[in-house]
Amino acid sequence: MSRHTASLFTQSELSELLEKYRGFVEDKLFPIDLQVVQGPFKSFLPQLKALRNEAKALGLFAPHLSQEEGGVGLNLVQFARVSEILGQSPIGHYVFNCAAPDIGNMELLHMFGSAEQKMTWLVPLQKGEIRSCFAMTEPQLAGSNPVHLATTAVRDGDNYLINGHKWFTTAADGARFTIVMAVTNPEAPSPYQRASMIIVPLDNPGFKLIRNIPIMGEAGEDYLSHAEVKFENCRVPASNLIGEEGQGFALAQERLGPGRIHHCMRWIGIAERVFDMMCKRAMTRELDLGKPLAEKQTIQNWIAESRAEIKASRLMVLDTAEKMQELGAKAVREDISTIKFFVADVLMKVIDRAIQVHGALGITDDTLLSFWYRHERGARIYDGPDEVHKSSLAKSILKSYQKKADG
């Protein structure tokens, strides 16, 4: 991985690279992405594999990985710029092998995986030969407070015996393995030292994929799905433990910091594509002959507000990425909370305005708007609900004022 490395590219080289990504996304992905999300997704896998091979041939595959690992070698800030471009298509990150949850699992295995784990799981994942998923959220317990987990992994000789019920295990359908968060040290004094991360191959007889969960009526399949799964006396070697027992939450935080920047830049990419659709619709849809929607002041306000909000989002996220790259994730906790709820809110506002400008067409599946409205509404929920991030940010700010008052 190369998220904290020095830049391998000059500014002009980076600009040229960004143009290559932009050209690929607009020329190769825009023409097919609506058909792909309408599905069935699996029927497009051969076509998407060909696009992945084309991206490899052009030296654009896996932008977040180092060149030694078969990637482009971009640092965190540079990858953020690329991530925005890829986010403009629902299949952008998939085609370039930097989609969640795979990218987070690559980070985890790169930083904390054993040599055997890297060879078995990380290398084929980096090459795009397999996919993975991440099993943390449980249906019976609030995901907004993940210290409460019912899934257990009990040591049994040289194995772990895993039992539990998870859901929103994104892209489990068709994945080769999952990383499961399970309680291994229930008696640990700190709730943050009770869980561990363990690799589970999905051909394990103790793993059950119950269903792909319908998201506002759409269950999807393969990469475009969220699964409900169960672990029933699922036996795996103890060597499948990532890091040390009880480190699960510490590892999760390592995964989540950069992950929220990835998400935010992807959301900005979506917002840019949606903004473009909204402007084109406003210019071409006539209420009367020669009187397009674009002449209406409300529409003009939406366009102006959307442009300002998207630009503000981009600057905030890139600033946070630069700080994280220089100072590490702990130094930008407040910034991470800020961009998470701010950009998620901007995204939903822009999509909603675009739907309104498209009128009845906007709520059909004839454009990407309904797909994004369904699937990105979760932006305000996953990786910490917006309300939790707002509360955390406010408490952190007020604590500094309390120190001043006490001093």
**Cα 83 → chain centroid:** 10
pTM equals 0.95
Q: Is the pLDDT reported for residue 232 higher than 70? A: yes
pLDDT classification of 255: cutoffs 50, 70, 90: confident
334 phi, psi to nearest 5 deg: -65, -40
Q: Averaged over 82-106, what is the pLDDT?
A: 97
Q: How many angstroms separate the CA atoms of 87 and 343, rounded? A: 14
pLDDT classification of 256: cutoffs 50, 70, 90: confident
- 281, 292 Cβ separation under 8 angstroms: no
Cα–Cα separations (whole angstroms), residue 288 to 175, 284, 291, 298: 52, 11, 5, 17
Cα–Cα separations (whole angstroms), residue 168 to 131, 133, 192, 200, 364: 16, 10, 22, 16, 25
Q: Could you give the count of Cα atoms lying within 13 Å of 249 in the half-sphere of its Cβ?
A: 16
Q: Averaged over 343-354, what is the pLDDT?
A: 98
Q: Averaged over 251-262, what is the pLDDT?
A: 83
Q: How many angstroms separate the CA atoms of 55 and 53, rounded? A: 5
Task: Give pLDDT tens digits for 115-125.
Answer: 999 999 999 99
pLDDT classification of 183: cutoffs 50, 70, 90: very high
164 phi, psi to nearest 5 deg: 170, 175
Strand 220-221 vs strand 132-135: parallel, antiparallel, or unpaired?
unpaired
pLDDT classification of 6: cutoffs 50, 70, 90: low
Percent of the chain with pLDDT over 90: 90
Q: Give residue 129's identity as a one-letter amino acid code.
A: E
The pLDDT value given to residue 212: 98
Residue whose C-alpha is closest to residue 84's, from 273, 269, 260, 346: 269
Name the DSSP class of 7.
P
pLDDT classification of 5: cutoffs 50, 70, 90: low
Q: Give residue 268's identity as a one-letter amino acid code.
A: I
Between 384 and 170, name the one with better pLDDT.
Answer: 170
Query: Helices 76-87 & 297-327, crossing angle to 10 degrees?
Result: 150
Whole-number average pLDDT of the chain:
95
Q: Is the pLDDT reported for residue 3 higher than 80? A: no
- Phi-psi label, residue 112: left if phi above 0, alpha if psi -120 to 50, beta otherwise: alpha
Task: Give pLDDT tens digits for 213-227.
Answer: 999 999 999 999 999
Q: Averaged over 243-249, what is the pLDDT?
A: 95
Bridge partners of 179? 134, 199
- 133, 171 Cβ separation under 8 angstroms: yes
Q: Averaged over 277-295, what is the pLDDT?
A: 96
Between 359 and 404, name the one with better pLDDT.
Answer: 359
Name the DSSP class of 65.
S
Q: How many angstroms separate the CA atoms of 219 and 199, rounded? A: 25
77 phi, psi to nearest 5 deg: -65, -45
Q: How many angstroms separate the CA atoms of 152 and 231, rounded? A: 9
Tokens linked to 114? 């054993």
Say whether 52 sits in a helix, a strand or coil: helix
Task: Give pLDDT tens digits for 127-140.
Answer: 999 999 999 999 99
Between 12 and 406, name the one with better pLDDT.
Answer: 12
Q: How many angstroms separate the CA atoms of 392 and 346, rounded? A: 20
Q: Averaged over 153-158, what is the pLDDT?
A: 97
- In 171-314, where do the E strands start and end? 177-183, 195-201, 207-212, 220-221, 224-237, 241-242, 286-288, 291-292
